[in-house]
């Protein structure tokens, strides 16, 4: 309730820009969803903007237009959310297929126990190029983890 009150107070000043740091952390899912709905209402007229710093990637998937990943003080990427969720994918393969991939197709990769996970920026194009590969849509969380824990 305190967070709802704080956001309501910020909205009452008719601000055009809200800067929020971990606005929904520690909240139960119902209250978090209510706050995200309030924020979505705020930006609907395109006269208002919100800068959100959050580690809760599901919140970002719901309300963000652009996502910027900052790791160790450096911008890793800045992309439209729709590009990340609709085009990016994770190619899962064995060692032989990984060795056959063109390096220019790989954003980052990670060796897991039984497979290689390769982040690709155009999963449909990669599926045509590598028809035997398993390429799944990547969540924002998976993309961020691969960028941070993967290798180039």
Q: Per-residue pLDDT for 17 more than 90?
A: no
DSSP E strand stretches across the chain: 17-21, 49-53, 66-71, 74-80, 89-93, 108-111, 116-120, 134-137
pTM above 0.95, yes or no: no
Decide: helix, strand or coil at residue 25.
Answer: coil
> What pLDDT was estimated at residue 1?
67
45-50 average pLDDT score: 85
Token couple for 34: 């209510």
Q: Which of 3-7, 45-49, 88-92, 116-120 has the lowest mean pLDDT?
A: 3-7
* Percentage, residues of the chain above pLDDT 70: 98
Q: Which of 12-16, 55-59, 89-93, 129-133 has the lowest mean pLDDT?
A: 12-16
> What pLDDT was estimated at residue 35?
84
Find out whether 51 and 18 touch, Cβ atoms under 8 Å: yes
Decide: helix, strand or coil at residue 69.
Answer: strand
Q: Per-residue pLDDT for 123 more than 80?
A: yes
> What pLDDT was estimated at residue 122?
95
Please tell me the distance from the alpha carbon of residue 84 to that of residue 66, in angstroms, as a whole number.
9
Please tell me the distance from the alpha carbon of residue 141 to that of residue 38, in angstroms, as a whole number.
23
Q: Per-residue pLDDT for 114 more than 70?
A: yes
Token couple for 38: 């309030």
Average model confidence (pLDDT) across the chain: 89
> What pLDDT was estimated at residue 9?
76
Cross-strand bridge partners of residue 67: 79
Q: Per-residue pLDDT for 13 more than 80?
A: no
DSSP at 152: -
Q: How many CB atoms lie within 10 A of CB 122?
A: 15
């Amino acid at each position: 309730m305190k967070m709802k009150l704080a956001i309501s107070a910020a909205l009452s000043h008719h601000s055009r820009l809200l800067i929020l740091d971990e606005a929904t952390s520690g909240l139960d899912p119902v209250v978090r969803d209510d706050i995200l709905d309030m924020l979505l209402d705020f930006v609907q007229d395109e006269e208002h903007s919100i800068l959100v710093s959050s580690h809760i990637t599901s919140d970002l998937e719901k309300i963000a237009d652009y996502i910027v990943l900052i790791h160790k003080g450096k911008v890793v990427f800045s992309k439209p959310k729709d590009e990340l969720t609709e085009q990016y994918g994770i190619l899962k393969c064995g060692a032989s297929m990984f060795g056959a991939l063109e390096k220019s197709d790989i954003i980052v990769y990670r060796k897991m126990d039984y497979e290689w996970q390769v982040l690709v920026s155009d999963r449909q194009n990669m599926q045509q190029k590598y028809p035997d590969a398993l390429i799944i849509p990547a969540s924002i969380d998976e993309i961020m983890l691969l960028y941070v824990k993967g290798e180039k």
